[in-house]
A and B are shown apart, each in its own frame.
Chain A
């Protein structure tokens, strides 16, 4: 019997955050089964928050002692910890936003929180995986829960459409991913990321570069779908528009961040020897994504669709930093993903307070609820990239890394594309501040306390990071240093 048949305790510990999340997710479902009447189970969001909090604590705890686990299937390092904490925070914000949203629609159930926790498990795994099979498992756990969450309001036909589209296109993309994984295994004989890098880096046993490039391209295609990069971006606006707003907020932040973690991990370790082949491709994808996302958003009239296209464009900016292929670039990616999660989530949280999501519905919001309009303006200003907001530094670091890597064209066109983007964000701001409110509209009720907390924390973070970005950047730089 091999000595390492049972994982060592510290290896189990490195899996603790996921285990906690799974336990709580199952617990929530079981608890719900015993309490039929919704009024008997008021504490579910609190339980979900506790689960996420415990998982975050566990993440910080195990992050202090980095290492591998389960025969090098998982890796816990600064990079993993960063993404685990990022997705968990997004999850916590989602719970706070979703609770009043669902309650208002009489649709609250333990199922929702349980699915959310499971989705977080998947994303947490994606960030920690050091093995192609684990990558696939993580993506599937995350995606399948996300598909159900997207269609959570089952009586809403748009939500159904969103879920179906997300599911069909998502499975298609996963097929690509799996096929690419199979090819990689066939060509190299290994699935561990460091082993793949070792095989590819050794000219004696390296497989045919053409075939290997095709395999990497298929994996990239599958992942590009998850981050909604062109030309696999078509689903994003439809899904974000149809899904319940808190879910859209979640989908646009957490799974995306985890998919970027996977891309970084995969392409900067396993496929790094092939860098000169996939880098130009990635640059082209980044450019296309920025241009398509920003230009298509110009014609939209629905705020959720605008934010959907904006999330495509933002994926493009992040890809620019990935294409820079440097430690500086990785830290820019991490910084931007954190910032983007906050500002985009904030904007979606404001949208989640409105029943209608047409731009017209925001007319005169500044008069009806000045505080809400001001918060929305902060998030949109950050998305535009105005100085003294977090989004500005995010873009600054991204384009700095691109110019540092001598990607002048990509940086120049990306900067111009982000200037185009100002138009559609400004439209929302102008609607709120300059248009008169619709006839007969009344002052809005103050949002629920939990949403207010999300909004104020988000705005404070956006402005705080916008003025003093050093702490977050230091953390991002530290987290990225271990990757290469």
Chain B
């Protein structure tokens, strides 16, 4: 039941914020903070049940929704989705907290309450995607995530340089909508073949051999699903919506969007594409891995030359999610573990980076790197916090992203050494663009404001309070990975086993999987 509550509570908050407290910023803020905090607690309450037996569906509920075709409201959480759901609730809470001054300054007729309401709706929809155990329900939640983004970007975004908020919102919506609509066709096909939308049922039919997709069927189905997830992730060359969307979005939205939205795509690849269409996934492994490498390198190179901090972070996301896709398509336990771990870590670090970018933006009313400089001497805490997260993001050992990236590279090395080598270059690139961005933004001479030299305030207690959990998690995930990785790893092993894919290695290596997992820790 906790799982259902973690969706219903934000929805209740959404309804309250968009109707009763539409114009009342302070009440809406309290309601939003309260509902979001409460839903975070309900997601944390899932942890004990899941960690006990990660492969079993915890907090499952299965209601008939539509009689024919048989669509069930089937939710459940396992080791793979647990941390993603927790991270969604956490990031939404922080995003709402970060919006307090922003919505406080909004005039009444711009409906500050609705702004918070849509954030809560987004949380409910994303949680639903991670929890859905019915393909149809999954699609419904997957599409519903678009609606709050559309309104948040369109109504409360800012025009940045060449891209307008409306343009970015429509571009984002159309890209993802068009790509995922073919997946609906794929889902219908899977249903007509198997007679059910229930994902576990489909998997057991596949395992029993009563349902089989021939390679000729798998290829188009794989492409339909892959396209939907590749645009959502995004993967090169489907990324062009991303930089515009992140740059024009209000900070609170970027924290959730950059943190969680991309994971919907990679989660879909890992959860659905691999087990459903293993043959086609194998057949397309070179294409996907090449795209992932291109995303890693192209994202890294583009990030270096971005003059805008939010755009830089957008390209950095592109690069990091390339790693995740590479890990998933390594078909190796380590790669999958790394990918799923990296999903959570990247959510935390990117959320933190965009939070910092928001702090900077609120101080200077700009996110152009050239407008900043010399902050370190005036605001040492702010710059240290940024540096800490930037180092984590670029994969410094002892911090969170290192674990995921290392495992991904190891998995990729087992199955495709050239890809691992190319991806390793991406790690270097990420250090380059993040540290260079740090240098230009925080070091050097203070930039000139309207009234002479620009002054920067250091972190306020409220800002510290918001950033602290993310920074602490970054460290915790970096030094204490087993409790987090364990449940994911168990599910990943099952995914590999389900698809009978954990046997072949392209590189001759006889390391058994069990020891590989142990080594990784």
Contacts and interface: CB of A to CB of B under 8 A. Distances in A.
A434 B155 contact: yes
B173 interface: yes
Contact of A400 (B146, B177, B188): B188
A52 B88 CA distance: 52
B147 interface: yes
Contact of A422 (B109, B154, B173, B220): B173
Given A387-B140, A387-B143, A423-B174, A434 B165 contact: yes
Nearest to A367: B109
Contacts of A412: 182, 185
A415 B21 CA distance: 38
A416 B178 CA distance: 6
A430 B154 contact: yes
Given A387-B144, A404-B192, A434-B165, A396 B66 contact: no
Given A404-B192, A419-B174, A433 B68 contact: no
B181 interface: yes
A4 interface: no
Interface in A386-424: 386-388, 396, 399-400, 403-404, 408, 411-412, 415-416, 418-420, 422-423
Central interface residue in B174, B184, B192, by most chain A CB within 10 Å: B184
Contacts of A400: 69, 188, 191-192
B174 A426 contact: yes
A411 B224 CA distance: 13
Given A386-B143, A411-B185, A434-B165, A419 B178 contact: yes
A187 B147 CA distance: 56
B155 A422 contact: no
Given A419-B177, A423-B170, A433 B185 contact: no
A470 interface: yes
B388 interface: no
Contacts of A396: 184, 188
**Tier of interface size on chain A:** 20 to 34
Contacts of A388: 140, 144
Interface residues of B, number: 33
A429 B170 CA distance: 10
A404 B37 CA distance: 45
Contact of B166 (A418, A419, A423, A434): A434
B188 A422 contact: no
B176 to A, nearest CB: 10
A427 B220 CA distance: 32
Name which of B155, B165, B185, B220 has the most chain A CB atoms within 10 A of its CB: B185
Contact of A420 (B69, B165, B178): B178
Interface string A433-451: 1110000000000000000
A403 B185 contact: yes
Nearest to A401: B188
Given A388-B144, A399-B185, A473-B68, A434 B154 contact: yes
B189 interface: yes
A63 interface: no
A99 to B, nearest CB: 30
B181 A416 contact: yes
Contacts of B101: none
A422 B177 CA distance: 8
B67 interface: yes
B14 to A, nearest CB: 13
Contacts of A435: 166
B66 A422 contact: no
Nearest to B182: A415
A206 to B, nearest CB: 34
Contacts of A408: 220
Interface centre among B109, B177, B220 (most CB of A within 10 A): B177
A469 interface: yes
Contacts of A386: 143-144, 146-147
A427 B109 CA distance: 22
Contacts of B66: 468-470, 473
Given A396-B184, A434-B166, A403 B189 contact: yes
Given A388-B140, A419-B177, A430-B170, A470 B67 contact: yes
A367 B114 CA distance: 13
Interface in A431-484: 433-435, 468-470, 473-474, 477
Contacts of A418: 181
Most buried by B among A387, A403, A423, A477: A387
Nearest to A427: B170
Given A434-B154, A469-B66, 13 more contacts: A386-B144, A386-B146, A386-B147, A387-B140, A404-B192, A411-B188, A412-B182, A415-B184, A415-B185, A423-B174, A430-B166, A433-B154, A470-B68
Interface of A: 367, 381, 384, 386-388, 396, 399-400, 403-404, 408, 411-412, 415-416, 418-420, 422-423, 426-427, 429-430, 433-435, 468-470, 473-474, 477
Interface of B: 66-69, 109, 139-141, 143-144, 146-147, 150-151, 154-155, 165-166, 169-170, 173-174, 177-178, 181-182, 184-185, 188-189, 191-192, 220
Q: Which 6 A-B pairs have the closest CB atoms?
A: A419-B178, A387-B140, A434-B154, A419-B181, A415-B181, A387-B143
